[in-house]
A and B are shown apart, each in its own frame.
Chain A
């Protein structure tokens, strides 16, 4: 099956620093990647949709200048949390899809803790 990886799997940083999370599709080319955020005991909330080579589409209420998304290639998308604050602490999950499949393949998630 299609595999999506995320790196790092967890990160702890100080308030005010920026953190970059990578999402890679390992064995297929992802035309679209999605970024989700999940707070403890809650569901996944879609943050943004990114298509290779174009600007990401952000969901209402998500600050695009704070959560920078770059979908540089068909196998890599990055999410950068700029000037992170404790309220940004969450579980960030990416998924990838290709037009060949009707299914999204999810990464294992990245646990971000901002001190």
Chain B
């Protein structure tokens, strides 16, 4: 079942502005990942943050994780028109998953945020 919920569902900004997307989840996690998907294409992995981490950076991306609130945010700074895409968070199972088990590494995706960056 889908446990991740993202907001906003759609975000429209001007080039150069920052874009913030939020993700909430319900069960314990091992890690949380953010993916990007251009229309009709596959997923591109952006960043992974482990359950014992609070913040992570990668280029113009900043991800935070608050396990007490079961939420994460993705910040894209100085956005570009090329950042226009759908962004999904995905959680990997926590307690009960073990390496080699059939459910290990299973991802549950959020509903996604459609980001439009206007030039």
Residues of A within 8 A of B (CB): 6, 31-32, 34, 36, 41-46, 49, 51, 54, 57, 60, 91, 93, 95, 97, 99, 102-109, 111
Contact = CB atoms under 8 A, between A and B. Distances in A.
Given A31-B100, A51-B102, A106-B45, A46 B107 contact: yes
A111 B45 contact: no
* Chain A interface mostly: strand
Given A31-B100, A45-B2, A106 B42 contact: yes
B45 A91 contact: no
Contacts of A34: 106-107
Given A91-B40, A102-B48, A106-B43, A57 B102 contact: yes
Interface of B: 1-2, 4, 30-31, 33, 35, 40-45, 48, 88, 92, 99-100, 102-112, 114
Given A43-B111, A43-B112, A44-B88, A104 B105 contact: yes
24 contacts: A32-B102, A34-B106, A36-B109, A43-B88, A45-B109, A46-B108, A49-B102, A49-B103, A51-B102, A54-B102, A57-B102, A91-B40, A95-B43, A95-B107, A102-B30, A102-B92, A103-B33, A103-B48, A104-B105, A105-B45, A106-B43, A106-B44, A106-B45, A108-B41
Given A34-B107, A43-B112, A109 B41 contact: yes
A80 to B, nearest CB: 20
Contacts of B110: 43
B77 to A, nearest CB: 24
Given A42-B111, A43-B109, A44-B109, 11 more contacts: A6-B42, A32-B102, A43-B88, A60-B1, A91-B40, A95-B43, A95-B107, A99-B100, A104-B107, A106-B44, A108-B42
Most A-side CB within 10 Å, residue of B44, B92, B102, B103: B102
